[in-house]
Chain A
Amino acid sequence: MSKTGRSFSLRSYAAITTARLIKIGLRLFGRGGTALPGKTALKIQPRMLSLLTEGRRVFLVTGTNGKTTTVRILCTLLGELGYTVITNPSGANLDSGLTTTLIDNFKVLKNSSPDTLALVLEIDEAYFAKLAGSLNPSVCVVTNFFRDQLDRYGELQHTRDLIARGLDQTQAQLVLCADDSLCASLAHDRQQRSHFFGMSRSAMKTGLSGGVLESGFCTFCGGRYKYEAMAYGHLGQFSCPDCGFARPQPDLEFEASPDREGLVQAQSLKLSRHDAAGRVLTINTRLSVPGIHNAYNATGALLAAYLTGASLEKLADALPLASAAFGRMERFTVGSKEVCLILVKNPVGMDRALDFVMQAQDFGSGMLLLNANDPDGRDISWIWDVDFETRLPEGVLGVSGVRRADMALRLQYAGKDKQDLDIDQDYMKLYDRCLERCPDQKCLYILPNYTSMLDLRAELAARYGLRDFWSQD
């Protein structure tokens, strides 16, 4: 008998029933709404989230980038360990969406014991302080702090402090990125329960990397960090010469290399586990998602799953089964050509995506889409922080989205001739031309931001019968 069953009041059941009725109503009208049912339930029973998660094995994932991929990988790993896993669809990461998710899964929640059930919840970083305390987490993963939608959140240090406040309301074990100074600083005063993941020092580049250093100054004393080696962005072997704060030794490290089976959308990982006695256990595995940033996400997810007491061997075996989260990186075949969608939301994400596209042997044609709706952030000046100058795909580039004029202007300043820019408001007509331009056996790479991805993917799903992404919830 689960705890949930005993402690539930009439009020809670009323809240759940109402939410379910609303959900059924929305479905009848063909909507996949995720917020409204939860919102209503919270009105009736404000303690809903706390009641639904009490006594459960709860994993929270937050941070600015990589949440969805980390959640996806963690779910796969826990599933392979034999857990029934409940998770929220990407985007439904505020209290209302979380409540809807849990109510949708109420039967499972009620009928399975905490030993066989895991909740893996993605939490919006701006709401973490508000939500963490009521979700009863046993593990909190903080992925990183990259500049993202600053017009919404103000500043990174502030975001870091919000997450710190949330962590203080829980006794959860913490899984933190050692190479991100803001993230690693969260272990301060929480040393006993902190666990670190990161890139192997020997795999990092020495000498300062280019681009914008997001947090080049010490969180604690304001000193300028020294970097002995860099991974990418501001991630690296940092230390503060003034107060001594430095990158902690990761408990779990990775070293990434090109996939040994030669797949571009995969990579090989060498994982090293450092124990308290200084012993190192090394194990090789594969990740079916490309990019260093995803190697970070996978290592973080693996460390979180490891805290359940599972063996590293078992987790390494399960890792290749994890696939990319919706839209982050998705490939499908159209006749003799391939199409690859890569979601980009900010300068670092765009730099990584362009790196990947530039290295892809099968690059045939490219297309960029830029919207500035509320979920994207209204401010698109971040495109000027992207290092297009050194990462400009060759040939004609397609440009669409509401702010296509800004993107085209950016590309012109990066060195594209006007006649090599195919600019069109109609993104499907543009898609057709870009696909036409792509040679056989090659791949059309499309880099949209969030809402332009949703628009484009809806059309592509209808045309090619791609799996509907609402079916995930």
Chain B
Amino acid sequence: MKLKICHLYPDLLNLYGDRGNLITLERRCYWRGIECEIEPISIGQSFRHDAYDIVFMGGGQDHEQNLLFNDLFEHKGPQLRQAVESDVVFLCVCGGYQLLGHYYEEQNGERAEGLGIIDFHTKAEPGRIIGDIVAESDFLRSQQLDPILVGFENHAGRTWLGSGVQPLARVVKGGGNNGSDSTEGVIYRHTIGTYMHGSFLPKNPAMADWMISTALQRQGQNLQKLPEIDDELAENARKYIQTCK
């Protein structure tokens, strides 16, 4: 068994320990004897929708995000859309998440177009949403997985989902998509968008395992259940966020 993971724009979108998500996927595969290859793809390199089992895109600094717009729209947009529509497992965090929607509107009304792959948009508002976040995911529950997601968020953009779009989770503590409608993130086919940055997958092993097993099933691997991993340390870190203040 082997998984090919694409890390999109690792030199531009690498804020807040985004590396942790890849380390987690790679280690959890390794501990189970699943081979895993991570390919960084950045500006000027082509992206093919059928070349990867998992795609990851993180968040970036505004200055650097502007640089990748041309490349993203002109060279990678259509292939990315096709990857999403053909059920490739795709995780996007923060800035990467916002890029999948229709647009990002600055406070001064200026709009940056998004890829428009999923029906949502984002508007910047004064004051950033910063802090620990806990959310409960009906989607994970429907997969018979631990439904509690924990993380840290830091964003000025408020994301509003279209009416037919399913949020990844409901906020229990923190801001989530926009700080007012209790939604956090998005799930569409096998694509997940979230504002939980950095150690999202390390602290949410159920989510990481869902990505790995979904990617393997999509390859046609016949597997009942992934071998167990001792997640006591992750559990302690999760407990801390759920119980602090």
Contacts and interface: CB of A to CB of B under 8 A. Distances in A.
Given A379-B154, A405-B237, A413-B23, A217 B64 contact: yes
Interface string A380-410: 1111110001000000000000010110111
A155 B14 CA distance: 12
A384 B26 CA distance: 14
A408 B233 contact: yes
B62 A409 contact: no
B46 interface: no
Contact of B236 (A151, A385, A408): A408
A378 B174 CA distance: 14
Contact of A405 (B67, B152, B154, B233): B233
B11 A216 contact: yes
A150 B67 CA distance: 20
A157 interface: yes
Interface in B10-49: 11-12, 14-20, 23-24, 27, 43
Contacts of A150: 15-16, 154
Interface residues of B, number: 37
Given A384-B23, A408-B233, A418-B233, A378 B131 contact: yes
B19 A384 contact: yes
Contacts of B15: 150
B131 A409 contact: no
Interface string A353-390: 00000000000000000000000001111111100010
A381 to B, nearest CB: 2
Contacts of B110: none
B158 interface: no
B63 interface: yes
A310 interface: no
Interface string B50-79: 000000000001111011000000000000
A384 B20 contact: yes
Contacts of B111: none
Given A150-B15, A379-B154, A381-B17, A157 B63 contact: yes
Contact of B61 (A157, A213, A380, A406): A157
Interface in B84-114: none
A389 B131 CA distance: 27
B19 A385 contact: yes
A222 interface: yes
B202 A413 contact: yes
B109 to A, nearest CB: 21
Nearest to B23: A413
Nearest to B62: A155
A212 interface: yes
A103 to B, nearest CB: 34
B66 A379 contact: no
Given A382-B17, A403-B240, A405-B236, A410 B202 contact: yes
Contacts of B230: 418
B237 A409 contact: yes
B233 A379 contact: no
A413 B64 contact: no
Interface string A210-226: 00110011000010100
B228 interface: no
B121 interface: no
B199 interface: yes
Contacts of B237: 405-406, 408-409
A379 B198 contact: yes
B198 A409 contact: no
Contacts of B189: none
B195 to A, nearest CB: 13
A381 B197 contact: yes
Given A217-B12, A379-B16, A405 B23 contact: no
A454 to B, nearest CB: 20
B197 A217 contact: no
A380 B17 CA distance: 9
A111 interface: no
Give the interface centre of B11, B66, B239 by most chain A CB atoms within 10 Å.
Answer: B11
A116 interface: no
Contacts of B154: 150-151, 379
Give the interface centre of B17, B66, B130 by most chain A CB atoms within 10 Å.
Answer: B17
B127 to A, nearest CB: 12
A115 to B, nearest CB: 44
B198 A384 contact: yes
Given A379-B16, A379-B152, A383-B17, A217 B233 contact: no
A410 B23 CA distance: 10
Interface in A109-166: 150-151, 155-157
Interface in A397-447: 403, 405-406, 408-410, 412-413, 418, 421
B17 A405 contact: no
A150 B62 CA distance: 13
B202 A409 contact: yes
Contacts of A410: 20, 199, 202
Contacts of A381: 16-17, 20, 152, 197-199
Given A378-B132, A379-B16, A405-B233, 15 more contacts: A150-B16, A151-B130, A216-B12, A222-B66, A379-B130, A380-B152, A381-B16, A381-B197, A384-B202, A385-B17, A385-B19, A389-B23, A406-B237, A409-B237, A418-B232
25 contacts: A150-B154, A151-B130, A151-B154, A155-B61, A155-B62, A157-B61, A212-B14, A224-B43, A379-B16, A379-B152, A381-B197, A381-B198, A384-B18, A384-B23, A384-B202, A405-B236, A406-B203, A406-B240, A408-B237, A409-B234, A409-B237, A410-B202, A413-B20, A413-B24, A418-B230
Interface of B: 11-12, 14-20, 23-24, 27, 43, 61-64, 66-67, 130-132, 152, 154, 197-199, 202-203, 230, 232-234, 236-237, 239-240
4 closest A-B pairs (Cβ-Cβ)?
A381-B198, A384-B20, A384-B17, A381-B17
